[in-house]
């Protein structure tokens, strides 16, 4: 929202930046678009700029607010600018142990990996797709075909007991196994709960962290069919061949 101030022909302008409640926005960036000519608002939300070209575009930005652009017409020397909060990221819905919540309302430590991130490279299972995608989650892969590695959330918690996290798929905890049997392309998102406040709903089962998997499901709208396939070939290489019966007899004779 802009209010026309005193009319005067000048290339020096002043203004004030406030939020929707009328409070000054301190430290907002005011820049003449396409140039390096800019400044920041002071403690009262005021700013001043010199050498502003006629009909130049003023761009006002601040973290958590929507960008405001306005034309610096020659007849206007003072600008009252109101910035609106950008709540798009704060309204993002994430999965927690007791359902779903807005990201802004979650106080626990969690990491979210969406389907686009999971499918950036071809992998054999969801376990490998998650590798290197979540902070605080250490995944070590097993090089033998048909076997998987280990996942540790914030390191090992016990020397003798299991350190595996609890896997929950669409709200159902898995009593055995992990997510290696799931097709990565069938997963909508994976939320990893890493602290006590987030895992309290699962009791002692969530002591090593919780991996919440949400699979894709039908949506309203036009029918779409997508196909994607990969082929992987693996061979077990034994660098130490076994002895035959004849070789074993010869070896025993030589040993004597």
- Domains annotated for the chain, with CATH where assigned, are 13-83 (2.60.40.1120), 93-215 (2.170.130.10)
- H helices of 57-174, in order, are 115-118, 126-129
Whole-angstrom distance, CA of residue 14 vs CA of residue 52:
11
Q: How many CB atoms lie within 10 A of CB 120?
A: 9
- Count CA within 13 A, CB hemisphere, residue 233: 0
Residue 71's nearest CA partner among 63, 61, 81, 62 is 81
Express each pLDDT in 184-212 by its tens digit: 788 888 888 877 766 677 777 777 888 88
What pLDDT score does 3 carry? 41
Predicted model pTM: 0.46
Using only C-alpha atoms, the chain has a radius of gyration, in whole angstroms, of 30
> Which candidate, 137, 86, 126, 147, places its Cα nearest to that of 215?
126
Please state whether 29 falls in left (phi above 0), alpha (psi between -120 and 50) or beta.
beta
Q: Average pLDDT of each block of 10 consecutive residues along the chain (256 residues)?
A: 41 88 89 87 90 85 86 81 75 56 55 78 75 77 66 77 82 75 81 73 78 81 78 73 85 84
Whether residue 82 contacts residue 16, with contact meaning beta carbons closer than 8 Å, is answered with no
């Amino acid at each position: 929202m802009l209010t026309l101030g005193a009319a005067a022909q000048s290339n020096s302008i002043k203004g004030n930046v406030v939020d929707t409640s009328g409070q000054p926005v301190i430290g907002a960036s005011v820049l003449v678009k396409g140039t390096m000519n800019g400044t920041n608002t002071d403690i009262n939300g005021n700013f001043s700029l010199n050498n502003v070209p006629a009909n130049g575009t003023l761009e006002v930005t601040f973290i958590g607010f929507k960008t405001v652009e306005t034309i610096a017409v020659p007849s206007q020397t003072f600008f009252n600018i109101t910035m609106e909060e950008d709540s798009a990221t704060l309204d993002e819905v994430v999965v927690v142990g007791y359902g779903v919540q807005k990201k802004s309302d979650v106080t626990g430590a969690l990491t979210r990996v969406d389907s686009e991130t999971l499918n950036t490279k071809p992998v054999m299972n969801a376990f490998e797709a998650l590798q290197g995608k979540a902070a605080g989650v250490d995944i070590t892969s097993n090089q033998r075909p048909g076997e998987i590695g280990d996942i540790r959330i914030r390191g090992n918690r016990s020397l003798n007991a299991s350190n595996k996290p609890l896997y929950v798929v669409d709200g159902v905890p898995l009593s055995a196994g992990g997510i290696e049997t799931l097709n990565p392309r069938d997963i909508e998102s994976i939320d990893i709960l890493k602290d006590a406040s987030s895992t309290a709903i699962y009791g002692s089962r969530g002591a090593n962290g919780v991996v919440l998997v949400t699979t894709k499901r039908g949506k309203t709208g036009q029918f779409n069919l997508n196909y994607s396939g990969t082929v992987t070939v693996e061979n077990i290489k034994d660098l130490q061949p076994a002895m035959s019966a004849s070789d074993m007899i010869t070896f025993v004779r030589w040993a004597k």
